[in-house]
Structure 1
Amino acid sequence: MSLPSANSPVWGRLATGGLSRLQTSHLGTQMLIKRLEMSAAAPAAKAQEIYNYFAKWERSLAHELAQLARL
């Protein structure tokens, strides 16, 4: 699966609790999930950060990208 666009609703769903359902063994992604779960940032800011992370590491996150359609 290719990376959804920055304005896709999937990023908002991830930012508002969907990250907890994402299965990953990628250490950097696990750290991002924990940090954002504890963050008091607005959901829009979290969604943008999640998108930026996935855009940067897209090649390493094939398993995680495949899950986005289900979340």
Structure 2
Amino acid sequence: MSLPAPGSPVWTRLASGGLSRLQTNHLGTQMLIKRLELSSTPPAAKAGEIYNYFAKWERTLANEVAQLARL
């Protein structure tokens, strides 16, 4: 499964609280989720950061990428 496009609404949904529903055992992803939950950064900036993270680590995040369509 490939990543949704950078302009896909899934990234905004994740940035607006959807990350808490993502099930992951990947430590780096858990740290990203916690940091973004505590951040006061605007959702648009968070969405871009989430997309960039997933684009960089797509090969190791197959389970998480598969969940994106359901979130």
TM-score (structure 1 length as normaliser): 0.99
> RMSD over aligned Cα, in angstroms?
0.3
Determine the structure 2 residue equivalent to 1:64: 64
Determine the structure 1 residue equivalent to 2:5: 5
% identical equivalent positions? 80
Deviation above 3 Å: which 4+ runs of structure 1? none
Aligned residues: 71
Unaligned runs of 5+ in 2: none
Could you give the per-residue CA deviations for residues 19-71 of structure 1, whole angstroms, max 9, x where no partner exists? 00000000000000000000000000000000000000000000000000100
Once residues 4 and 18 of structure 1 are traced to their aligned partners in structure 2, the CA distance between those partners, rounded to angstroms, is: 15
Q: Secondary structure at the match of 1:57?
A: helix
TM-score (structure 2 length as normaliser): 0.99
Pairs within 5 Å for 1:1-71: 1-71=1-71
